[in-house]
């Protein structure tokens, strides 16, 4: 079984501010940093830092070599990382004193993925391999269709949520990992268990992990619901916390952990990410978790 993450890579331009800028307001940033990020990139980094072999597929422009080098330093396979003649994607991220953020995305190379590129990537994989995808690259519906046609198992993090996702062939998704905003948009419900009820009615063969920030997470799978409280920490920057959760949860599931162990491991890893600044750079390695908590081997 091989694991492929088909997703975005961004340069994150991060501005620390006392509060997120309001409409019509101009405020001076306390600091500025350029970091490596992108939901696809961060999730691959989390998987690799947990100990998973990962293949990464996506697109960078001529300015994106540093992102490729970063992946390769972590042992992530980059044969499916494509170079295009469009600038690499970037994100403008505001982070406030509570560690909350708001993000503006420029898709760039991430939005240049075509059917031909998708088929070229997926032809390298086979039945039983696992595909992880998000919604920061073009061709989402095609990736789902083509992956399902080849018998890949599909994990979808429908982030950032957009109306077009509802027209994708979501019945092919084995695992959805999503937050309350995404689940609310997909179902029209406001209460977490009602969101899960509605999702299970529409996709009865799928499994779900619903993340709720400080309120923890719920896993709904095979008729069971498992609740995991959030691990308390001092929030510095929530960027990539969801990506860390996704990466560590999948690592645990692919490596024979129980659902309870997987969701706890994911919550522990995400709590470390929240406690420090940046995206990929803030994601912990497994040894850091093992020093703080008892982790089932
Ligand atoms: O999930 C966090 C990521 O979202 C950031 O790294 C940024 O690039 C945006 O894609």
Please give the pLDDT value at position 99.
Answer: 87
For 19-40, the pLDDT digits (tens) are 999 999 999 999 999 999 999 9
Q: 169, 170, 120: which is closest to 4 by C-alpha?
A: 120
State percent of the chain over pLDDT 90: 97
CATH class of 3-9+37-88+102-296: alpha beta
Mean pLDDT of the chain: 97
Distant-in-sequence contacts of 252-256, Cβ < 8 A, 24+ apart? 252/50, 253/175, 254/1, 254/3, 254/52, 254/130, 255/51, 255/52
Give the distance, in angstroms, between the CA of residue 292 and the centroid of all CA atoms in the same chain: 24
Q: Is the pLDDT of residue 16 over 80?
A: yes
pLDDT of residue 297: 67
243 catalytic? Reply is: yes
Q: Under a CB-based contact definition with an 8 Å cutoff, are residues 101 and 238 in contact?
A: yes
Q: For residue range 197-215, what is the model confidence (pLDDT) as tens digits?
A: 999 999 999 999 999 999 9
Give me the residues paired with residue 82 across strands: 59
Q: Is 136 in the pocket of ligand 1 (CB under 6 A)?
A: yes
Q: Is 279 in the pocket of ligand 1 (CB under 6 A)?
A: yes
Domain boundaries, the chain: 3-9+37-88+102-296
Instruction: Assess whether the C-beta atom of 38 lies below 6 angstroms from ligand 1.
Output: yes
The reported pLDDT for the residue numbered 196 is 98
Q: Is 10 in the pocket of ligand 1 (CB under 6 A)?
A: yes
Instruction: Compute the distance from residue 187 Cα to the ligand 1 centre, in Å.
Output: 24
By percentage, how much of the chain surpasses pLDDT 70?
Answer: 99
Which pLDDT does position 295 carry in this prediction? 76
Task: Determine the Cα–Cα distance for residues 119 and 98; give it in Å rounded to an integer.
Answer: 43
pLDDT given for residue 294 in this prediction: 84
pLDDT in tens, 136-191: 999 999 999 999 999 999 999 999 999 999 999 999 999 999 999 999 999 999 99
The answer to whether 220 and 178 are in contact (CB under 8 A) is: no
Query: What pLDDT, on the 0 to 100 scale, is given for residue 83?
Result: 98
240: nearest Cα among 266, 206, 209: 266
Query: Is residue 296 scored above 90 in pLDDT?
Result: no
Q: Which residues contact 26 (CB under 8 A, 6 or more apart)?
A: none
Residue with tokens 């600044």: 277
Average pLDDT over residues 47-52: 98
Give the mean model confidence (pLDDT) for residues 48-71.
98
- pLDDT digits 0-9 by tens, 62-112: 999 999 999 999 999 999 999 999 999 999 999 999 989 999 999 999 999
Residue 31 confidence (pLDDT): 96
pLDDT tens readout for residues 246-284: 999 999 999 999 999 999 999 999 999 999 999 999 999
| Most ligand 1 atoms within 8 A of CB, residue of 243, 246, 270, 273 to mutate | 243
């Amino acid at each position: 079984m091989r694991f492929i993450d088909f997703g975005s890579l961004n340069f994150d331009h991060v501005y620390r501010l006392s509060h997120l800028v309001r409409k019509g307001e101009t405020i001076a940033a306390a600091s500025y940093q350029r970091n490596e990020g992108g939901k696809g990139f961060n999730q691959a980094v989390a998987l690799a830092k947990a100990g998973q072999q990962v293949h990464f597929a996506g697109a960078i422009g001529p300015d994106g070599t540093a992102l490729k080098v970063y992946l390769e330093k972590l042992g992530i396979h980059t044969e499916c990382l494509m170079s295009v003649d469009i600038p690499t994607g970037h994100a403008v991220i505001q982070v406030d004193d509570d560690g909350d953020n708001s993000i503006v995305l420029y898709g760039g190379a991430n939005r240049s993925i075509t059917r031909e590129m998708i088929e070229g990537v997926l032809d390298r994989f086979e039945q039983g391999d696992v595909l992880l995808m998000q919604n920061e690259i073009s061709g989402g519906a095609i990736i789902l269709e083509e992956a399902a046609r080849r018998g890949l198992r599909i994990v979808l993090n429908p982030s950032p949520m957009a109306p077009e996702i509802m027209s994708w062939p979501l019945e092919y998704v084995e695992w959805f990992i999503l937050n309350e905003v995404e689940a609310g948009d997909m179902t029209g419900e406001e209460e977490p268990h009602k969101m899960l009820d509605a999702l299970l009615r529409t996709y009865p063969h799928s499994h779900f992990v619903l993340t709720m920030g400080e309120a923890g997470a719920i896993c709904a799978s095979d008729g069971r619901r498992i609740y995991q409280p959030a691990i308390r920490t001092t929030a510095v920057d929530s960027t990539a916390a969801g990506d860390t959760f996704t990466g560590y949860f999948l690592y645990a599931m692919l490596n024979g952990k129980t659902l309870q162990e997987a969701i706890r491991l994911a919550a522990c890893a995400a709590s470390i990410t929240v406690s420090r600044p940046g995206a990929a750079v803030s994601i912990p390695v497994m040894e850091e978790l093992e020093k703080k908590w008892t982790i089932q081997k």
